[in-house]
A = this chain, B = another copy of it.
Amino acid sequence: MNTTLYTVTIPVFIKSLENLSGFIDKAVLHAEAPAEGASAINLPELMQARLAPDQFPFVKQVQLASDTAKAFAARLNGEEPVAMADTETTMEELKKRIDATIAVLKEVKPETVDGKEDAQVTIKWFPGKFITGFGYATEYVLPNFFFHVTTAYAILRHNGIQLGKADFLGAISLQDLA
């Protein structure tokens, strides 16, 4: 695999969003059938759970991971990201949001990302400013994306959902040594 602006972003986001959807599966499973000794989980409350009073809740962490991922290729090309309404009220809807985001990412053609290192990316909350495509990817999109996926994971862990690093990383592409 060559290292390009596309290969270090879009496939990475797709895999991590699939993992994020798996976190929700485990939360739903826990709510439906708590393990012996585990506390009961109320899913609507879990969607609104947060780690600090002024932090975004779980539902918003997932929406922001989605937003960060789907904005990337669009912003590199001076286009508006695909809009999603942030109206999810159930874990099932949140999984659909993730699926829809993955579908957007799968439509991104590598040639619309690669070579955009020097593109001038404008972000509405920095008026009169731009960041290069490379800076946008490495200083904003990658850290911010993982920030929200990890915070979503941390909120679930804090609320007793049994998740581990293997859930966060997903399957690793191991091969047999010769």
A144 to B160, CA, bound (A): 21
B12 touches A177 (CB 8 A): no
Identify the A interface with B (CB < 8 A). Answer: 1-5, 7-8, 11-12, 15-16, 51-52, 55, 114, 117, 120, 122, 126, 128-132, 134-135, 137-140, 142-144, 146-147, 150-151, 153-154, 157-158, 160, 165, 168-170, 172-177
Can you list 17 A-B contacts with CB-CB less than 8 angstroms, sorted by A residue number?
A1-B134, A1-B135, A3-B3, A8-B137, A51-B154, A52-B158, A120-B177, A128-B177, A135-B172, A139-B170, A140-B169, A140-B172, A142-B142, A144-B165, A146-B146, A147-B150, A150-B154
